[in-house]
Each structure stands twice: as structure tokens, then as C-alpha cells.
Structure 1
Amino acid sequence: MSVELTVVVPAYNEERRLGPTLAAIQEHLESTQRGAWELIVVDDGSTDRTAEIAAEASAADSRVQLVRGGRNRGKGHALRLGVLASYGRRVLVTDADLAAPIEEIDHLDKALADGHAAAIGSRARPGATIGAHQHRLRELLGRTGNFLIRTVAVPGVRDTQCGFKLFDGDRAREAFAASRLHGWGIDVEILQYFRRSGWPVAEVPVRWSHQEGSKVRPLDYVRVLAELTALKARAVHRADVLVGLLFLALSLVLFSGRWISPAHRYFPDSMQDQNQWEWFFAVTADNVRHLNNPLVTTLQNVPDGVNLMANTVMLGLSVPLAPVTWLLGPAVALNVAMTGGLAATAATWYRLIRRRLVPHRGAAALGAALAAFAPPMVSHANAHPNFIVLFMIPLIIDRALRLCEGTRVVRDGVVLGLLTTYQIFLGEEPLLLAALGMLLFALAYAAVRPDVARASWRPLARGLGIALAVTVPLVAFPLYWQFFGPQSYKSVLHGDNAGNSPLAFLSFAERSLAGSQESAGPLSLNPTEQNAFFGWPLIALAFAVVVRLWDRAVVKALAFTAVGAALLSLGPKFRIPLTDIVLPGPWAALSGRPLFESVIESRVAMVCAPALGMLLALALARLLPAPRRAHQYAGLAAVVLALLPIVPAPLKAVDRVDVPPFIAQGTWRAYLGEGETLVPVPVPDPANAEGLHWQTVADLQFRIPGGYFNGPWGPDRIGIYGPSPRNTSNLLRDVRTSGRVPEVTPAWRAAARQDLAFWKAGVLVLAPQRHDGELRATVDALLGRPGKWVGGVWVWDLHEDRT
């Protein structure tokens, strides 16, 4: 005879309550259940008479069974034994204290009759009634623990830990057979299994009353979280871990030249950007240490200072890495950020591709590697961590796709807002480019799948509104400071011809296996801006993949995204190669718009990298299971031939110029009074920012005029690289460039006195460098006296002029 209902009661040292509980359950089942029922008591290694009481009940009624669990191993183990021993079409699990009366099964039964696979009793849903309460402190701790559990593990369920749950029997046995936890966390583990399997779960309000002698302690909620964390760690597939390690290894190889000796190695292709970024990490750590405003500093560009929020200081990384900066220095902190960030970016692309496109791990790994380590990314790896540390972008994309599903709009909208907020503190321009790429994809996908668009736009719009409501309050002040605070500016002048040449897409980047400086240099702004060098073999392969898989809507959308981004990256106008024909580009419609006016348009081509990576993953997922070996081998050969030329080589690194003893040994301290600055000769600017390195070596103990940053210039506050020009800084820059000593007139001397007073200068310092003789002669002439050789530099003590 089939069993209609099984009731499972886990019990540990319950001799005082078990007898009345079993009697109450039997009485209710006898009077209400129309079919056969069974009652299973699982003794979890009790040391009192619990097992004897259950055995006596079993002897009196054969429908009551005793299952012995051996030694005490926890509620989860007991429940698993009981459910797996059950035969019921429905399975009820209830605690031995009957805090939720057995009569409440009728409410849960209605939920199963409505088509749910499980109905869980809830003390938090409207309609629930609570009789006797716990102690207020205990209740507060319990609610806090339950909140953490449901937020982290089972979002959307208000009460995961109420021990009164009714399941479809077959599904319960499958879920409990797959469970691994022995403790209280099994409640969450089972609910997660039901959710992953797509089995609907109802949360039903019940009557509940606290019973004295409860086995649950406030710290048990902490144990639940620990169990779930350990379970999640064990659930990570070894292949996924291996893929992550491979990404980290590739990143380490790429940056190996600087890891050899971080403080003494320099990437020459970064020009002055490595000095700038190390300074950004150093100044942020200094602001954190002294609880200063992290959005501004006066350590360079004295007296005006620098608006750090208007510069890409990556507070999202430089703040949490402040302890690394304090202990190991900014060079190591920058290395950690770039190496780890690039590997993490590849890992999140891998996660997105596996979750949304292809389950095949090998295909997803290769697609993610292309997305993260494509030639444009390797180019930016020389100098721009904000363009390679993009691990939030795939997470943002995934959350936006969840919004389109419309299942948990409020939660997903809140999470999207938090992710977006964090990305703003990692890099705003990459976020803008990612949004542009997502818009291109959405428009294309909506065109080919209007049915999906109609079903998705309402939850997406609502979720985006929620995300905006979360983001705006969090970033309102920093963005106000960025755009309207001290040393803010309107837009950045990048000059003309910042778009890509069409030939760049077919060519190879300098650090690609098939590339060289001679071939890439004429087609790019500099070695850090080789934004479109994917190479003709990869472009040809992508074209073939699109043709072969054209029937898939996602392929059409990815192809449109890649082509659209490539066209936009050509700039407001471009020349057709090998001709004198100049055509307008689609970027012209965006170039003068707010936010877009500061974008280097060639960078839009970076959107092509993840699009190409996803196309590659789709192709491999179709190719690898191919039944015909010949087709499989031919396809794999085509992939190898397309990717081999763009395999990245380790970035070039050279020994760093030694910091003069005058700086490194602190000799400079004797030359500076209160509030005075040290003036490197020539005055630091984007072409010569070694003075920033001097500052980081000296633990930011002195200030300098000039520097390398973005700041305002002129009455219109147009953004420029470096400080606003002054007569003396311009003169010294020209001498450094030309190597010619100018005729120093009284007017030049007067201008120098004025500029030195403006900079609050205490000492001028000239280190050995190209044209240092001409620079020394010029400064001698400006000040009317020679400098002195001290600690490996020429020094002009300005206090001598005041005595």
C-alpha cells in the first residue's frame, strides 16, 4: 500500500518533549489523513531516553519507525537519514518541540495542491502569528542571523530556518540524497537545490511559539553561514579552479618583467604613466592613513592641487590596497592591482560565458582569455590599470540580463546599483564604453528577437530605475566633487586623429607574437593605445563564425556589437586606406556630447574584444563535439592559426633610473622650510614625471609644483594634461627638449622670481639627465648664481637669495 504522508522528526536528547510530540502528531494524522501515513523518528545519538521513547511508540504502532543515527552528527544528518528512509508521496519535516503545531500542515498542504514542490513554514510572512517569544536579545540575534543567511544564500525567502517544511516526496528524497551538510545549514542547502532545479517553493505563514529547551543557539546562525561557505567552496569544480590559475599564470607572465624587482623595474612603453599610477596609489594610501579627503591633494601642482576624483586614481582598488602600499610600497600595490585585476577580469568573463552562452569549460576559457588578454588589453597593461581591471563589467552584464528575466527585479536592481557604484570607483570611462557596447547588443538582439524584447523591457526598465536610485546617493558627492569641485574641468583635449585607422584592425600589436613597433607604431597614438590590433586572421575567423552560426540571434547581436564598436572607433571622420577619400564616421554624432567629449574614440574598439571572445566560445562549443574528426581538426587548426599571431609577449621592462641620494637619503629636508616646495628641474609635466617617483620614495614628505594629472586650463576650464603653463616651466621644458640655452633677459629673471614665489619654492633640484648641462646653465642665469653639487644633484637653495 502506498504511503500518502511521511512525517520526519529529528531528535537529540528530547526525552521530555518527544512523547507528547509523537502523541500529538499521531492524533492529528489519525483524524485528518485519508491515506496511509508513517512517522519516522531519527535519534541523532541521544544520551538520554529519547531512543527508548521512540522505540516504545514504534512497538505500540507499526506506522511509527525509529531510525538510529549512531553518534551525534547534527540535524542535517538526522534529516537526511529520515527523508531517505521515507516512502510518502509527501514528506513533512518538523522539529521535536512542535514550535509550529502539527495542525499547520493543512496550510502547507494547500500550497502543494497549488503546484508547488515544497511549502516552508514562515514566521516572517504576513499572516504568521507568534505566541511565546524568546528573550529579546536572543530573538534579535536570531533575526540578524536569519537575515544574513537569506541574503547571502537564499534571497527572497524570509525565514529559512523554521523547522516546519512540507515537500513533494520524490523531490525531497532527491534533494536530501544530494545534500552534504550535517548541521543546521541543511535547510538552506535543500532550498538552494530546489531553486537550482526550478522547483517552485512557497513560503507559508504559520503559527509559531517559542519552546523552552530549544537546541538552536544564536551562534548556530554563524555556523550555518560557515557550513554554506564551505559547501560552496567544495562545489567549485576543479576545472574552474584550474582555469582561474591559468589566467593568473598568464597575467604573471605578462607582468613578469616588473615582478622581478617591482621598485626597481619600469615599463618604458608606459612613458610616464607608471610614475603617475604609483603616485596615485601612494597618495591614496597616505590619505587613508591620515584620514584626509581622498578626493583631493596638494602634494603636486602647488598651490592649486589636484582633483583626484577627476583623475583615475581607482579608489575602488587603491583604498583597499592601502595596507599593501604601506607595507610593501606603491610599486608592489600597483603590480598586485594590475596582475590580480587582469586575472580576475578573465575569470569573470569566463563565468559570464559559461553561465550565459556555452557550458563547455574549454570553449568558455578560450573565449574569456581573448576577452581579457586581447591585444588592446595587453597594450593598456603597460600603463592603464583602469582599462584592464574590468572584473566588474561581466558581473554588471550578467545582472542586467537577470533583470530581463524579471524574476527578482528589486534585488537584482539593488545589486546592479551596487556593482555600478563600485565600477565608478574603478573607472568611469570603461563603464561608459561597456554601457555603449551593451546598448549596441540590446538594440541588435531586440531587432532579431522582438518577442524577447517585449517580455524584457518592463522588468529591465524597472530594475534600471532601482539601480539608479541606489547608485545616485552613493556617488552624488564624489561626482559633484569631480565635475564641480576644486580643480575640476569640463572636458579633456585629446587632439585630432584620435580614431583608429581601418588598417589597425587587420594589423598586429607591438606585443603580439606577429607584431612589431615598426608595423604598429604608425597606426596608433602610442604603445599604450593600440586599441584595434586584432589581426586579419582573427577577423577572418570571426567572419566565418558569424556566417556559419548566423541562424542564432546571439551571434547576430554580437556581430552587430563588434562591427558597430569598430565603426565608432574610427572617429568623427576617417580615411579609406590607400586613397585620399575621407568619410564621416558615426562617432561624429557623439563626439560633442557630454561625457563622450572626453573619450579617446579609438578606445571604443576595446568593446570588440569580449564580443570576439564570445563568438569564439560559441564556435568552439559547436566544433568540439562535432562527430566528424576531419571537420573538428580543420576547425581547431583555423582557431590556432587565428590566435597564434596575437599571443601576447611579456611586457618590456628596464631598470629604473636611480633616485638621487639627495632625495633617497632625506638630504632635501635641510633645504625646505614650513610650507615650501621642492622644485625639480625641469618642472614635472606629463612628459617628465620623475618628480612623482621622488615623492613616493620620500613617502610624500615634500610637495612639488607641476606634475602629471588632468586639470583645468583657462577661463573655460578646459581639461589638459599637466599643470597650467607658466613662463618658467615653459622655458625649462623647451631647454629640455631642444638642448639650447636661451638668452636670459631681466624679464625672464623677473618671471622666474614670480613663478618661484607662486610655487612657494624652497629649493631647485636638477638630476643628471639629457641636456642637463643646458638646464643647469639656464637656471644659473635665471637665479644669477651657480648651483651646488649635493647628493648626486645640482641644488639651488633659494634661502640664500633671501639673506
Structure 2
Amino acid sequence: MRAVDEVVPRLAPDKETPAPAGPRRRAGLWALLSYAALAVLVMLRLWIDPDGRVLASNDDDHGVFMYFLAHGERVLFHGANPFFDSRMNVPDGVNMMANTSVLAISLPFAPITHFLGPGVSVVLALTCGLFGTAAAWYWVLSRHLVERRVAAWIGGLWCGFAPAMVSHANGHVNFVSQFVTPFIVWQVLRLREPGRAVRGGVSLGLLIVLQVFVNEETLLFTALTLGAFVVAYAAMAPARARSDARHFLAGLGVAASTAIAVLAYPLYYQFRGPGWYQGQPFLPDKYVTDLLSLGAFARQSLAGNAALTRHLSVSATEDNTFFGPAGLVMIVVSAVVLWRHVAARAAAIAGLVLLVVSMGTRLRAAGHDTGIPLPFGLVSHVPIIDLVSVTRFAMVTATVAGVLVALATDRALAWPASARRRWFQVGLVLALVPLAPKPLPVVAADPLPAFLTQGAWRQYVPADRTLVTVPLPEVTTGRAGIRWAALSGLEYRSPRGYFMGPVNPPADRTGSWNAPRRFTSDLLWQVREYGLRPVLTDSDRVKITGDLIFWRAAVVVLVPNSRNGPALRDTLVDMLGRPQLIGGVDVWDVRYLPVPPAE
């Protein structure tokens, strides 16, 4: 039937007569409609007002992906460099290849961003990501891996709306957009077929290129999982693996050559272009999977309890396991049901390996470090691996679990009517219903001031100068500045920002979520955090003036309703004198400062 049946067999022992094309198409349509409805439900509260609301659990990343989608609009409509952004972090700019700039999404969405705004683009991208991931897995499962459409529907449902996916829908456009992954997996499995080395290799190479411009972390996870799968399969079926190796390796070589030919310059730019960095701004054992999270419920699951989940998860965007008690049991049961099949067994082993990796260097249980060492400690500092948030490896386990449950369901439905079949069906209901996702929480965002919406800023900010918002845009502060810039179409330039770049180049290129520290940014951060107005010296004023010149500042604008806003305003008055009230905001005109020569 399928050329790869010997590697990933249809698991039903007695195949049913294929349904007519009409009913199969209708089943597929209903599956897609159910995924679309569920994706809209998850994002419903944000759809009500995309520009006026932000995701309550992750407004930082919500804002930065609005910015990245606005960057895609500038690339398509204004001819900007897709790999570099000069609008943020002036004068240094931002290496967009070294950030999750989702160019494969931002560029196709550019017309939507241009005409409807980045707020609409973000919620649409998140919705399409959830829907597209579920639909892609349904397509691969229903056409190649299972006989029964209901099994494929359950697999797509799990892979597209597992707690890991729903939690990352809190602003992570890159991680919910996994619609390329199933096709990469399938093309890799097909490389063993004779005569597919060139055609299959080129197809795989192009899929890899596409995934790089969606999310490189997901591609890394996929490659590691497939590697673990191949090793496990070869160990359990060495004769078959040896016979397939020649075709497989030839196709893999073609795929690698195709991908490298297209990606050579983008990857060079990422790892050696302006703003390149290495490593993460945290230790590998900081964000890891808690052992007890496997059987708990995520905060956005129907049966979830946010207070309990907080003790087992690093954040609301990283509920990467949380299968629930019945869900965990059904994953184990599915693996047992399929254990005779080498390919399914290898997939289960690969998922388990990535789960152990996601637990970091030492086992954590119930929020406590047990001190038990884990294998990840041996590879935690390997280049590329050290760029990953470790707990995200468990997203692979969640996907593998969905595929195993789909395969086991397909087999169970072929069993004769019996208590064993009924219990399996009851288990599915008990596993899936409590994991049903709830709409993501949102909060109202402060409206843009008239200073921006009415275009008053244009009188004060020449093209070669910047608009400086206070609090300054940083990873966890000044998020309004990034949102303002995105909703304004990146028409003006701004200093600093929330992005990944080197902490203190060229001396230290360790990755950081902030621009390199400066006196004024540190001072204003402390005022915002603690509300204490500093006593400025003449030396301080010289440093502040130097920073404003470095940032090419034209105006300084105090963001309304900021934390410790009165202290920030008093500090700015002490720094720059009395402000003007323009368009609903306090504005300090500093165009009298010189502009440093362009480099």
C-alpha cells in the first residue's frame, strides 16, 4: 500500500475496506472544521480586540512578535533587510536571523499587517499555527499511518492542542507553528525507498529551509528526535537498517546539500553577522521539566489549576508536558499496545530520550532539586544545544505521545467488540476531555497616545533620530515601547529593546535579552523597579547626555501609567528639565543634542 509500510506499518491487523472518497473527504472536512473551531476558541478573547488587548500570561513576547511581523511588512513594502533590523536598538540594530523573526510567516502575512495591523497578524498567526499543526498531523496520519479517520483526528487533536501547544500560544508564534514538522518527519522516513534519493532529498531540503525561517529550535528538536529514532530502530532491527542505509544516506546527503545551498548565507549572517551571539543568558538547569508535571494538568486545560501548575512549571508559556493522570496512563498503554512493532517502539524510545533531556542536568520533582544527576549534563554546553531552553525538549515527547495514541487507537478500533476495546475507548475519553483547552486570558492594553496616533511625533523625530520611550524597552520592562513601535508600523526608530543579542560585544558575546548596559538605562530601570529618585551629579548628567547622543535621541517620552511613574517623571525632569505635554504624553525635546556620525 505505502512504500514505507515496513518501517511504519499500518497497525490494524485486519484492514477495513477503504471508505468511499466522498465520506473520506467529508470526514477530513469535519476534522479540519473542528480544529479551526478549537483554534479560534483558544484565541477568542484576543480576537475580540487584537490591537487593544494583550495576552495576560506573556505580554512581552506578544509585543515582540507584533514587532517581528511589522518587520516582515517593512521588508515587503519598504525593501528592508530581512536579516537585520535597524529600527530597534539604535545605533547597533538587531540580527533578525539570530532572533525568532519567523520570516516564513511575517512575509506572507505582510499584506495583512500592512492593511489590518500587527495585532491582527499576531492573533491570526497564532490561530493558524494551532490549526495548521493539527491539520498537518491529521493529513500525514490519515494518508500514511492509520486506517481510521477518527484515529487520525485524535492524533491531530493531540499534536495541535496538547497543553504544550496551548501554553506556547501565549505569544510564541514560532512554537505553535509546527505545520512543517509532520512533512519533514514523513520525508525522512521515505528516504529509505529506492529511487527517492534525489526527489525525496530535494523535497526534504526545501522543507528544512522553510522550517529554519519558521523556528530553528523546532527543527533542532525534530532532528534530534529522528536521530534517536533511527539509532533505536537500527539497534532493534539491524538487518533491515543495513539494507535501507544506502538509500537513506544518499537521500539525506541530497537533502543536506539542498538546504546548505539555500541557507549558507542566512546561517552565516546568523552566526557571524552583526549582532551575533553564543549561548543563553541562563544556566541549562534553570528551565527544566519537573517529574511530577507529567501526570498533572496544565493551567489552560479544562481540569487545570493554575495555583498547582505554578509549582511544576517554569512559566505559563512552558507547560510542555502536563498530560494529566489518565493522559499519562493512555500514553503508556498506547506504547504497550504497539510494543511489538519496531517503528512504534523506536518512536516511544525517542520520545522518552527527549523527555529525559528536558529534565536538565539534575532531576527536579515537585519544584525541588533532588540532586540526582541526569545525562543532559554531559552535553549541556555543546554548541547549538546551549542555545535551547531545556524544558522545550519535552514538546517532542508531547508530539510523539500524540502519534502513539493515534496509532494505538487505530489498532484498538480493529479489535473485536470486547471489554478490552471498551476500556481503551473509556480511557481515551478520560484522557482527552480534561485536557481540552480553555480560552487564553487577556488584559486590556493601554491605548496608544494621540502623540503617536495623530502623527504629532513626526514634527519632532527626523529620520536619522530616535524616539526614546521611558521606561526604556527591555526584556521585562518598557514593553509598551515595543508595542508602540509595532502598532506605528516601525515608522520611527528607537533605542534598546527586547531581543537576543550579545551581552557586551566584542568582549563578551554571550546571549542576552537586553542591549548592552548603559548608565542611563540602568538608572531608569532602578527608578522604575524601586521608585527611588536618585540624586544626580554633574558626572551623572554628562553620562546621561552621552547616552542620549549615542541613542541619537530626538525626543524622550514618558509612557503613561508606568510603574513608579511619578518617580520616573521627577527623575526625567531632573535630567532634562520641564517637559511639554503633547498628545497626552510628557515629551522632552532633545533635538539640540548633536547627532553622532553614521558608521
TM-score using structure 2 length: 0.92
Q: Work out whether 1:735 is the aligned partner of 2:521.
A: no
Deviation at 1:235, TM superposition (A): 10
Q: Work out whether 1:593 is the aligned partner of 2:354.
A: no
Amino acid at match of 1:711: G
Q: Work out whether 1:696 is the aligned partner of 2:486.
A: yes
Deviation at 1:623, TM superposition (A): 2.2
Q: Work out whether 1:331 is the aligned partner of 2:103.
A: no
Q: Work out whether 1:280 is the aligned partner of 2:68.
A: yes
**What residue in structure 1 maps to residue 555 of structure 2?**
763
Where structure 2 has 5 or more consecutive residues not aligned to the other structure, the ranges are: 6-20, 595-599
Q: Work out whether 1:773 is the aligned partner of 2:566.
A: yes
Q: Which runs of 4+ in 1 moved over 4 A?
A: 233-236, 576-580
Amino acid at match of 2:544: A
Structure 1 residue aligned with 2:168, among 380, 397, 409?
380
* Equivalent residues of 1:532, 1:602 under 8 A apart: no
Counterpart Cα distance in 1 of 2:491 and 2:228 = 48
Counterpart Cα distance in 2 of 1:576 and 1:772 = 40
**Aligned-pair RMSD on alpha carbons?**
2.1
- Describe the SS at the equivalent of 1:717: strand
**What residue in structure 1 maps to residue 244 of structure 2?**
456
Counterpart Cα distance in 1 of 2:446 and 2:270 = 34
Counterpart Cα distance in 2 of 1:379 and 1:549 = 29
Amino acid at match of 2:186: D
- Describe the SS at the equivalent of 2:147: coil
Amino acid at match of 1:339: T
Structure 1 residue aligned with 2:501, among 679, 698, 711?
711
Q: Work out whether 1:506 is the aligned partner of 2:329.
A: no
Q: Work out whether 1:357 is the aligned partner of 2:150.
A: no
**What residue in structure 1 maps to residue 25 of structure 2?**
237
**What residue in structure 2 maps to residue 130 of structure 1?**
none
Counterpart Cα distance in 2 of 1:235 and 1:414 = 34
What whole-Å deviation, never above 9, does each CA across 1:166-189 have from its counterpart, x for those lacking one? Answer: xxxxxxxxxxxxxxxxxxxxxxxx
Counterpart Cα distance in 2 of 1:580 and 1:764 = 45
Change over 3 Å in CA distance of 1:523–1:748 after alignment to 2: farther
Of 601-610 and 285-294, more deviation after overlay is shown by: 285-294
TM-score using structure 1 length: 0.69
Deviation at 1:775, TM superposition (A): 0.3
* Equivalent residues of 1:509, 1:520 under 8 A apart: yes
Deviation at 1:293, TM superposition (A): 1.5
- Describe the SS at the equivalent of 1:266: strand
Counterpart Cα distance in 1 of 2:369 and 2:521 = 40
Of 528-537 and 270-279, more deviation after overlay is shown by: 528-537
* Equivalent residues of 2:412, 2:421 under 8 A apart: yes
Deviation at 1:236, TM superposition (A): 7.0
* Equivalent residues of 1:767, 1:792 under 8 A apart: no
Deviation at 1:662, TM superposition (A): 1.2
- Describe the SS at the equivalent of 2:32: helix
Deviation at 1:494, TM superposition (A): 2.9
Structure 2 residue aligned with 1:622, among 402, 411, 416?
411
* Equivalent residues of 1:587, 1:601 under 8 A apart: no
Counterpart Cα distance in 1 of 2:464 and 2:30 = 54
Counterpart Cα distance in 2 of 1:427 and 1:576 = 30
What whole-Å deviation, never above 9, does each CA across 1:496-521 have from its counterpart, x for those lacking one? Answer: 42211111222211101121221111
Where structure 1 has 5 or more consecutive residues not aligned to the other structure, the ranges are: 1-193, 199-232
* Equivalent residues of 1:372, 1:609 under 8 A apart: no
* Equivalent residues of 2:72, 2:106 under 8 A apart: yes
Deviation at 1:326, TM superposition (A): 1.2
Q: Work out whether 1:564 is the aligned partner of 2:356.
A: no
Q: How many residues align?
A: 573
Deviation at 1:446, TM superposition (A): 1.9
- Describe the SS at the equivalent of 2:468: strand
Counterpart Cα distance in 1 of 2:2 and 2:464 = 63
Counterpart Cα distance in 1 of 2:339 and 2:193 = 24
What whole-Å deviation, never above 9, does each CA across 1:399-427 have from its counterpart, x for those lacking one? Answer: 11111122422110111111111111111
Change over 3 Å in CA distance of 1:454–1:674 after alignment to 2: closer
Counterpart Cα distance in 1 of 2:522 and 2:552 = 18
Q: Which structure's CA Rg is the greater one?
A: 1
* Equivalent residues of 2:126, 2:169 under 8 A apart: yes
* Equivalent residues of 2:55, 2:442 under 8 A apart: yes
Structure 2 residue aligned with 1:793, among 552, 577, 585?
585
What whole-Å deviation, never above 9, does each CA across 1:671-697 have from its counterpart, x for those lacking one? Answer: 223411111011111113211221123
- Describe the SS at the equivalent of 2:557: strand
- Describe the SS at the equivalent of 1:795: strand
Counterpart Cα distance in 1 of 2:495 and 2:241 = 55
Deviation at 1:630, TM superposition (A): 3.4
**What residue in structure 1 maps to residue 263 of structure 2?**
475
Counterpart Cα distance in 1 of 2:253 and 2:280 = 30
* Equivalent residues of 2:301, 2:436 under 8 A apart: yes
Change over 3 Å in CA distance of 1:509–1:577 after alignment to 2: closer
* Equivalent residues of 1:368, 1:610 under 8 A apart: no
Amino acid at match of 1:494: F
Amino acid at match of 1:730: D
Deviation at 1:371, TM superposition (A): 1.2
* Equivalent residues of 2:549, 2:593 under 8 A apart: no
* Equivalent residues of 1:666, 1:698 under 8 A apart: no
Identical aligned residues as a percent = 39
Of 753-762 and 405-414, more deviation after overlay is shown by: 405-414
Deviation at 1:579, TM superposition (A): 7.5
Counterpart Cα distance in 1 of 2:383 and 2:508 = 15
Structure 2 residue aligned with 1:584, among 373, 396, 401?
373
**What residue in structure 2 maps to residue 150 of structure 1?**
none
